[in-house]
Amino acid sequence: MVIMAVSSSSSTFQPVLDRIAAEIENMPARGRPADYIPALAACDPRRFGMAVAELDGTVYGVGDWRQPLSTQSLTKVFTLALVLAGGGDALWERVGREPSGNPFNSLVQLEYENGIPRNPFINAGALVVTDRLHTQTGDAAGTLLDFLRAESGNAQLASNKDVAASEAAHGDRNAALGHFMASYGNIGNPVPTLLDQYFRQCSIEASCADLALATGFLARHGIRADGTRLLTSSQAKQVNAVMLTCGTYDAAGEFAYRVGLPGKSGVGGGIIAVVPGHCTLCVWSPGLDERGNSVAGVAALERFTTLTGLSVF
């Protein structure tokens, strides 16, 4: 196939998205939805949506781009940003920022490393971040929801109570991580409180359009949709860097190779990605590969950066 370079000016995003959606339509294998959270297992792996948001909030989309999806681990980017905004570098005494090379819910590394998770995007690290946010605000999930509503302009965003209950009912692994880290003194809140907050966080539903808009502060070097500053430009750079190195489970190297952007995936099949200084993306397709990344989602982002030339490399 001949790959045409497409100009990256905003007026060309819609044709690029339309072309990608047509290509994805012909993809034979789409992976399988996550089934360890029963409420997610019923999703049709052929669903596909993609949105691009420019820095000024103009959004382009294709397919199921207005359909709410289960955000799951995408939320870990926003909780990290909120904790860094509220408490600065103190967080990094409690969580590292190296790729783990292990599955996202692994316990083994935690014992060798004295209860300090490798990075904020594996489940153990995300629990530490949510614990910090809960201590800072008294309501981690509510603070996150307020932030997502404000940045997306969608006041209807909410947690899905069925998904949260499903996660809680099958949350033994996350409970084990929480209690294990508490035994090292790395969790400040009661573990049941923390788990409740974490499951409410993961079960927030938002569309590709909402999520592309909500990620905008990372492309605007820390500036929120209303023009106020959430992060310093250094902090925004740091969050983007951790996304690039740790954001797509233990396939971050492959994602960087194929897509070339900071990105974060979730087991709901969503992926958010940032082109610093230019735009943000969210793609959704619930079929996952064996590492937990959306098969069609990664393919679509790879085509986007190839067609537009918009990548960090």
Q: Which residues, in sequence order, are CB contacts of 257 under 8 Å at separation 6+?
A: none
- How many whole angstroms separate alpha carbon 283 and alpha carbon 160? 20
Of 71 and 308, nearer to ligand GLU (C-beta) is 71
| Site size toward ligand GLU, by CB under 6 A | 10
Q: Extract long-range pairs of 123-126: CB within 8 Å, 24+ residues apart.
A: 123/173, 123/174, 123/177, 124/177, 124/181, 125/76, 125/95, 125/96, 126/73, 126/76, 126/79, 126/198
CB 246 within 8 A of CB 238: no
Q: How far is the CB of 262 from ligand GLU (least distance, A)?
A: 17
Q: How far is the CB of 166 from ligand GLU (least distance, A)?
A: 10
CB 62 within 8 A of CB 49: yes
Position 106 contacts ligand GLU (CB under 6 A): no
Q: Which of 52, 62, 76, 283 is catalytic?
A: 76
Position 144 contacts ligand GLU (CB under 6 A): no
Position 73 contacts ligand GLU (CB under 6 A): yes
Confirm whether 267 is a catalytic residue: yes
Q: Which of 16, 129, 163, 198 is catalytic?
A: 198
- How many whole angstroms separate alpha carbon 273 and alpha carbon 194? 27
- How many whole angstroms separate alpha carbon 62 and alpha carbon 14? 8
The residues in 160-179 that bind ligand GLU, with binding defined as CB under 6 A, are 167, 174
Position 293 contacts ligand GLU (CB under 6 A): no
Confirm whether 249 is a catalytic residue: yes
Of 73 and 143, nearer to ligand GLU (C-beta) is 73
Residue 97 carries which DSSP code? -
Of 172 and 226, nearer to ligand GLU (C-beta) is 172
Position 267 contacts ligand GLU (CB under 6 A): yes
Q: Which of 59, 95, 129, 267 is catalytic?
A: 267
Position 197 contacts ligand GLU (CB under 6 A): no
Of 105 and 137, nearer to ligand GLU (C-beta) is 105
Q: Which of 59, 70, 106, 249 is catalytic?
A: 249
Of 76 and 94, nearer to ligand GLU (C-beta) is 76
- How many whole angstroms separate alpha carbon 216 and alpha carbon 56? 9
CB 142 within 8 A of CB 136: no
Q: Which two tokens stand for residue 87?
A: 């408490």
Confirm whether 274 is a catalytic residue: no
The answer on whether 295 is annotated among ligand-binding residues is no
| Binding positions for substrate | 73, 123, 167, 174, 198, 249, 267
